Structure formats: structure tokens, C-alpha cells
């Protein structure tokens, strides 16, 4: 530990008496000892500059008692709050011990040490005063009032007229729920919409498929409260399901007329993508009658889908697609996959929704009977056919005839090997397009098929037959 204060100006050392000088007066020496013994036993407290707690200014270290700054003490491996390995000389000691290897100072040297200590204390106090002066100067440069300007009254009140995205979202969100299904395989999440005030909720079959095997279903409402739900009915053919909670007074959403939808209509997708509840995204209707085959081959759903560029991600399944009138025109069900991918990784601007007219018809069946039906024409299609239109298989497959005897197509004169070119004037080029177009109808509906047999083309009228899910 140094005896000198680096902040104090250099103090000239007292000249060492030579043999020719007169000897010091003993009385003067006794007086000096009495003065030295009266010095304070502890260093004088130095004022330190206290910066505000929220200040981002750099704190300047105040000098320590021995004249070294805090930073210098830390650089030397010490800190004012820590004990040092060497004891500092006591201020009342008239003969302070010097560092090892350095001769003991005489009484005149003690005066120099005392002077250095006092100068160090004064320098420390002066540093504190200087710090206060610096802060005072900074404070005086700051504005007296730090409050930021307030906006005029009503300036930030945005107009949200009826039909705006915000107004539509505010009306739809209380009727959209988050669904969690806990099974042995893990936890699945999705979305749903309130169908009826007495607790009926519509969602996708693939969201609650495990409920048929006893998995627990929990519904979380927009206000955060939860309710257990039971499965009312489901159909993989349309990827729709109805569940119910024991609650009344709920606010249902209205299923609109999806036949009135046109490309370019503004839409909102509402749901819980990736578990993020009450999420709203916007876009337009990108295409109509998009044939979508979703799910595993054994339980594939054929959807005559509404395509949208509104952001749809895993977890949006079962949530509503809402138009600018606040009506549901589709149930979000699937997203496109990029080339070479084996699993849906997220939104790429191509989402698909089950049309609301199909959802209404199927939901009513599920509530009434627990099952749903779908229409058929009674033929097997050849997926390997590469020509124009869709070809009926030329022979039976796994014991199933190419044309069901007595079925709708058989009664209309359709034969194995015939090629179906269109349905109700809508051209078809792959098997899924024809299946989707038929599934968009209801059992008992008539359809007109353009059929080519050999080189001849003709139109035939076919009345669709009903088949239940699972048959």
C-alpha cells in the first residue's frame, strides 16, 4: 500500500538534518508528538456523489482513503469494502511502520506522512465537491419538465366502422374456441366455433379423432375459462366433427352461404395457430372449388375447398373463415405442402377451408344422428388413366365391381371403361376432382355427366345415392 496520494500535488520532502545542523529541540519534539497524537484515529468521511438509480451515465470512482481510486484498488486486487492483506498505518501512530525493506522514517518523516494523509483527504473531499459540481451542471442543463408531449384529446381514437377488420374480429372472437385433446400418444390442439348457444361446437374430425378412443377433450373459451367436452359425432369423409360442453348462453357464429362467395372476397381466419389462442389473420379468397384430399388414404377427406391466402398454420384447423359481413363461409381444414416435404411446416399462402354449406349440412346430421352421409354415383375410377377426363375402371377391383349393379351410374347407362369429361358443365381431369364435385352435393341431388364411350359422347342424368360414413 503506497503512502502517497496520487491525486494530491507532489509534496516536497523535508530535508534530512546533517551533522552540522543544530540538534532538534527536545521541547519541540514533545510538542510535535502531542500534536500528532491528536490527529483523528479514522479517516475523515468524504462526500460521495450519488447518481440517480436510473441514470445511464458512467459513475466516476471516488478516491479512497489512501488516495487511490476504487478502480485502482480493484485493479490491484483490492476493494474499499474488502479487507486488505496489509494493515494500513494508524493515523494516531507517531511512528508508522514502513513497507518491508524500507527504513523507518524519523519524526520529521512522520510530519511528511501526516501531511500526505491530510492532503489526500482534502483531495478526496475536493473530488467529491467536483463531482457534485459536475452533476449540478448536468442537472441545470436538463429541462425543468421531463414530461413528453401528450396527444390531443381523441387524436388516437381510430374509427372502426362496421365491416372493418377490427369490428369483424371483435364480433367473431368470443365465438371461437381453442381445443386440446389429450391421448396416450400426446396432446393435439386445434380450433373450433360455437354452433349453438347450448354448447354445440364445430371443428375438424382430425382435431378430435382420438376422442373416439376415449381421449380427453378440453375447450378453452375466449375469456379463458375451460370446460370438458364430449364427442357428439364425426365424419372423416368431410373432416368435420361436433363436440359439446355442458354450458348455455353461448354466442354462436352464423354459417353464411358459401355459394355466394367469389374470388377476391376479403376474409379473416380465426383460431389458435401453434397454440396461440384468439389469433386473427386476413386475406382474400384465392380460388374456389379447389379439390383437396386430406388425411390418410384409409380415411381421406375429399373437400371442394375454398382456397385463401389468409395465414393458416397448424392449430387453425376447425376455426372459422369469416367474410366481411361477419358470417362463416368456411371451416379451415388444410394447408398446402411445399415440394419435397412430408409434413406441414407452416403457412405458405395456400390454405383451404370446407365450404359453410357443406359444414351446415354435415353438422346437422352429426347433431341429429351422430353420423353423416355422403353422395355417390356407384363407380370405381382408374387413378392410372392419363387421358382427358376421368375413366371408369374397366374391371372389378378387390371384389368390387367397376359399376355397382343397380346403382345411379348403372341406371344412367354408364359402363366400365367409359370416360367422364364433366359434371354439371364443370370439366374434370383427375379422379379427385370428380369425387370432390360429387361430395359437394347432397344425396338425392341430380347431376349431369358428359360421358364418352369409344368415340361417342353423350350427357346422362344421374341421381346421387346416399352412403353412410364407414361403409
Over the stretch 97-117, which tens digit does the pLDDT of each residue have? 444 444 444 444 444 444 333
80 and 186 share one domain: no
* Within a domain: 264: yes
pLDDT in tens, 290-315: 999 887 666 789 999 999 999 999 99
* Within a domain: 136: no
pLDDT in tens, 252-284: 999 999 999 999 999 999 999 999 999 999 999
360 and 410 share one domain: no
Which of 245, 276, 306 terminates a domain? The answer is: 245
* Within a domain: 155: no
394 and 312 share one domain: no
Phi and psi at residue 83, in whole multiples of 5°?
-75, 145
* Within a domain: 251: no
* Within a domain: 416: yes
Which of 319, 339, 369 terminates a domain? The answer is: 369
pTM value surpassing 0.75: no
237 and 267 share one domain: no
* Within a domain: 148: no
More confident call, 109 vs 247: 247
262 and 276 share one domain: yes
CATH number, residue 217:
2.40.10.10
212 and 311 share one domain: no
Which of 196, 211, 245 terminates a domain? The answer is: 245
7 and 118 share one domain: yes
Task: Residue 192: name the closest of 177, 170, 208, 207 by CA.
Answer: 177
Q: Please give the pLDDT value at position 85.
A: 42
DSSP H or E segment with residue 168: helix 165-172
SS3 260: helix
Q: Per the structure, how many domains does the chain have?
A: 4
233 and 321 share one domain: no
What are the residues whose beta carbons fall under 8 Å from the beta carbon of 125, sequence distance 6 or more? Answer: 44, 46, 47
CATH number, residue 378:
2.30.42.10
123 and 6 share one domain: yes
308 and 417 share one domain: no
Domain residues for the domain of 283 are 258-369
* Within a domain: 240: yes
Stretch 384-396: mean pLDDT: 94
411 and 424 share one domain: yes
**What is the CB neighbour count within 10 angstroms for residue 153?**
7
Q: What is the mean pLDDT of the chain?
A: 79
* Within a domain: 134: no
267 and 346 share one domain: yes
Task: Return the active site residues.
Answer: 206, 239, 317
Task: Residue 376: name the closest of 451, 426, 438 by CA.
Answer: 438
Judged against a pLDDT cut of 60, whether residue 129 lies above it is answered with no
Cβ burial, residue 115 (10 Å; 0-12/13-18/19+) = middle
Amino acid at each position: 500500500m503506497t503512502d502517497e496520494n496520487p491525486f494530491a500535488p507532489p509534496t516536497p520532502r523535508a530535508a534530512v538534518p546533517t551533522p552540522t545542523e543544530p540538534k532538534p529541540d527536545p521541547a519541540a519534539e514533545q510538542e510535535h508528538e502531542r500534536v500528532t497524537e491528536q490527529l483523528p484515529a479514522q479517516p475523515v468521511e468524504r462526500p460521495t456523489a450519488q447518481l440517480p438509480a436510473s441514470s445511464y451515465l458512467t459513475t466516476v470512482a471516488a478516491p479512497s482513503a489512501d488516495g487511490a481510486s476504487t478502480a485502482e484498488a480493484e485493479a490491484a486486487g483490492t476493494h474499499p469494502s474488502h479487507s486488505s492483506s496489509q494493515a494500513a498505518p494508524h493515523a494516531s501512530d507517531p511512528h508508522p511502520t514502513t513497507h518491508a525493506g524500507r527504513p523507518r522514517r524519523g519524526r520529521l518523516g512522520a510530519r511528511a506522512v501526516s501531511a500526505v494523509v491530510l492532503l489526500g483527504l482534502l483531495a478526496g473531499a475536493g473530488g467529491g465537491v467536483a463531482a457534485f459540481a459536475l452533476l449540478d451542471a448536468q442537472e441545470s442543463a436538463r429541462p425543468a419538465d421531463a414530461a413528453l408531449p401528450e396527444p390531443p384529446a381523441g387524436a388516437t381514437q381510430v374509427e372502426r366502422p362496421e365491416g372493418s377488420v377490427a369490428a369483424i374480429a371483435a364480433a367473431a372472437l368470443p365465438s371461437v374456441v381453442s381445443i386440446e385433446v389429450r391421448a396416450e400418444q400426446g396432446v393435439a390442439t386445434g380450433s373450433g366455433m360455437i354452433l349453438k348457444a347450448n354448447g354445440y361446437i364445430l371443428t375438424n374430425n382430425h382435431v378430435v379423432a382420438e376422442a373416439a378412443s376415449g381421449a380427453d377433450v378440453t375447450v378453452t373459451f375466449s375469456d379463458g375459462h375451460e370446460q370438458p367436452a364430449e364427442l357428439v359425432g364425426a365424419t372423416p369423409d368431410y373432416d368435420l366433427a361436433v363436440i359439446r360442453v355442458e354450458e348455455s348462453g353461448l354466442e354462436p357464429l352464423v354459417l353464411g352461404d358459401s355459394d355466394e362467395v367469389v374470388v377476391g372476397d376479403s376474409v379473416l381466419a380465426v383460431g389458435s395457430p401453434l397454440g396461440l389462442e384468439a389469433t386473427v389473420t386476413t386475406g382474400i379468397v384465392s380460388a374456389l372449388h379447389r379439390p383437396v384430399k386430406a388425411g390418410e388414404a384409409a380415411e381421406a377427406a375429399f373437400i371442394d375447398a375454398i382456397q385463401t391466402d389468409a395465414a393458416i398454420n397448424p392449430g387453425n384447423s376447425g376455426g372459422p373463415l369469416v367474410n366481411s359481413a361477419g358470417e362463416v363461409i368456411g371451416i379451415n381444414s388444410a394447408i398446402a405442402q411445399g415440394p419435397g416435404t412430408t409434413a406441414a411446416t407452416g403457412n405458405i399462402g395456400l390454405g383451404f377451408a370446407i365450404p359453410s354449406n357443406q359444414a351446415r349440412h354435415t353438422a346437422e346430421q352429426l347433431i341429429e344422428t351422430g353420423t353423416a352421409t355422403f353422395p355417390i354415383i356407384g363407380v370405381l375410377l382408374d387413378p392410372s388413366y392419363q387421358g382427358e377426363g376421368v375413366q371408369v375402371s374397366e374391371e372389378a377391383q378387390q371384389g368390387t365391381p367397376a359399376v355397382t349393379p343397380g346403382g345411379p351410374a348403372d341406371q344412367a347407362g354408364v359402363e366400365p371403361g367409359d370416360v367422364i369429361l364433366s359434371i354439371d358443365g364443370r370439366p374434370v381431369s383427375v379422379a379427385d376432382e370428380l369425387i370432390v364435385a360429387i361430395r359437394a352435393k347432397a344425396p338425392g341431388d341430380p347431376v349431369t355427366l358428359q360421358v364418352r364411350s369409344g368415340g361417342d359422347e353423350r350427357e346422362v342424368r344421374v341421381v346421387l345415392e346416399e352412403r353412410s360414413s364407414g361403409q
